[in-house]
Amino acid sequence: MRKNSISVLALLLGAAVGVVGGVLFAPARGSSVRKVLSYRVRHYVEKLQELLKTLSQTEVVVSTQAKTAGQEVIDETISKAKLLLQEANELAAQIEQ
């Protein structure tokens, strides 16, 4: 289960890096690139917020060791998603300047 949450975060991070790299190397004016990049970062922030909301609403009734470990993975994923969300918001704010 831990592999699964890491894979989701890696996928999101890879997509974000790919988008940023693709947009930065596009043959367009700097202001246009910043607008597009800002829009896309905000779009991914919204998706990340939805994922975070879904994970936060996931309720696991702890009755076995496996369920406890599952809850720990969910909690860790939520923590990492919040950090990634904060970083994405900071990136978007820097781009919009």
Q: DSSP labels for 2-62?
A: HHHHHHHHHHHHHHHHHHHHHHHTSSS-HHHHHHHHHHHHHHHHHHHHHHHHHHHH-----
Distance between CA atoms of residues 56 and 48, nearest Å? 12
Query: How many domains, in total, are found in the chain?
Result: 1
Question: Which whole number is the average pLDDT over 55-63?
Answer: 62
- State yes or no: pLDDT of 75 exceeds 80: yes
Q: What is the amino acid identity at position 43?
A: H
Give the domain range for residue 72. Answer: 2-96
Residue 26: predicted pLDDT: 64
Residue 54: predicted pLDDT: 78
Residue 60: predicted pLDDT: 54
In this prediction, what percent of the chain has a pLDDT beyond 70?
Answer: 79
| Pick from 45, 55, 51: nearest CA to 88 | 45
- Taking the complete model, does pTM exceed 0.75, yes or no? no
Task: Name the band, by pLDDT with cuts 50, 70 and 90, for residue 61.
Answer: low
Which tens digit of pLDDT belongs to each residue from 27-53? 667 777 777 777 888 888 888 888 777
Residue 2: predicted pLDDT: 61
